[in-house]
Structure 1
Amino acid sequence: MTEFFAHIDGKLAPNDAGSPKVQRNNREVLNLLTKRARTLHLGTANYCWFTDPSRALCLKLAGTPDAEKPLAGMCDSARCPQATHHPCHRPVWAEHAQQTTTFLGDLGPTGKIEKARLQADLDRAQRVLDAIDNDTIHEKE
């Protein structure tokens, strides 16, 4: 995303060696962002940058590699290379981790298979939380 906005800044920079342009044209910025807008899909737990359908995990899981939009209901953003997680998504992942931990604690000895599945899900949620926290710390530095 940073590269994309740097690209926009580069497009808006003056072409001559004179003084920099102080006030940018809002229409020009909107036009540049609109080109990218159809690839961005906002979710409650992630942002999906649907730039390459062949890399979309949701389409692979559904067996529809030629779809023009992501399948939000099939999203596994913790494993998809086109998904990004940001601080605004942290509450969703934290709640998911907390609920999964509760379910794990409530399982009896007969729930071995379910326990393994839930533990893998909790580990994935914790990795996402750690990544969000790590990125937030680095942004502040």
Structure 2
Amino acid sequence: MATTEGCASRPGGAQAELLAEVNRHESDRNLDLVLAEFRNYQQGILPAGPGARSLTEFFAHIDAKLDAAAAKAPKTQRSDRDVLNLLTKRAKILHLGPANYCWFTDPSRALCLKLAGTPTADRPLIGMCDSARCPQATNHPCHRPVWAEHAERTETFLGQIGTTRKTERTRLQADYDRALRVVAEIDAASTTDEDEESA
């Protein structure tokens, strides 16, 4: 009852307070995710996907700022708060998909908006995201299980399709190949130098 009491969203209504609280939690979660990915970048675990280069360049820029500040003051250690301040802007544009992160920096480059015919929208259509093709999408090690399961299920369907269904077989084969490619890219990007040396 407390959450629906202010249905008209009047000032001070429960609905407005609930929405504000949800937005705060979402903002905090996004900031935590961006910080975790920045720490992964520092450890050599890179993102994969079409938007990986842009995100990696952003992280390199932030890392350079931190190094420059450390060089000027050798006894000063940068805190997580300093890093979070630098990452806040990027966290505001992060949208989570089941198999990718969308870094919605430029609506005109968003594949989902182009496909939907709404290139001026202010949010991505995350359900339409094709992270293997969108220049703002990245795949990370946490997304690997989704892509691996998709590849496994597609392979099962391929094995069950009859030889007369060539069009469906071609479409599924392309989908299967794409899923395997994304899994391979995630694996390659998340292999650190230490992993390569121990292999």
TM-score by length of 2: 0.62
1:88 to partner: Cα distance:
1.2
Q: Determine the structure 1 residue equivalent to 2:164.
A: 110
| 1:51 to 2:89 alignment | no
1:108 to partner: Cα distance:
1.5
Q: Determine the structure 2 residue equivalent to 1:137.
A: 191
Superposed CA RMSD in Å reads: 2.1
Q: Determine the structure 1 residue equivalent to 2:151.
A: 97
Which has the higher mean CA deviation after the structures are superposed, 59-68 or 22-31? 22-31
Q: Distance in 2 between matches of 1:46 and 1:18?
A: 37
1:26 to partner: Cα distance:
4.4
Please list the CA deviations of residues 85-125 of structure 1 after superposition, one character each: whole Å capped at 9, or x if unmatched: 11111110000000000011111133221111111110111
1:6 to partner: Cα distance:
3.3
Q: Which has the higher contact order (CA 8 A, sep 6+)?
A: 2
Between the two proteins, the alignment pairs up a number of residues equal to: 140
Q: Distance in 2 between matches of 1:28 and 1:94?
A: 36
| 1:75 to 2:129 alignment | yes
1:135 to partner: Cα distance:
1.4
Q: Tell me if structure 1 keeps the 8 A contact 2:90–2:103.
A: no
Which has the higher mean CA deviation after the structures are superposed, 39-48 or 62-71? 39-48
Q: Distance in 1 between matches of 2:188 and 2:79?
A: 35
Q: Distance in 1 between matches of 2:192 and 2:63?
A: 23
Q: Structure 1 130/110 Cα, relative in aligned 2: closer, same or farther at 3 Å?
A: same
Out of 122, 125, 137, the position equivalent to 2:179 is 125
Unaligned runs of 5+ in 1: none
Out of 89, 106, 109, the position equivalent to 1:35 is 89
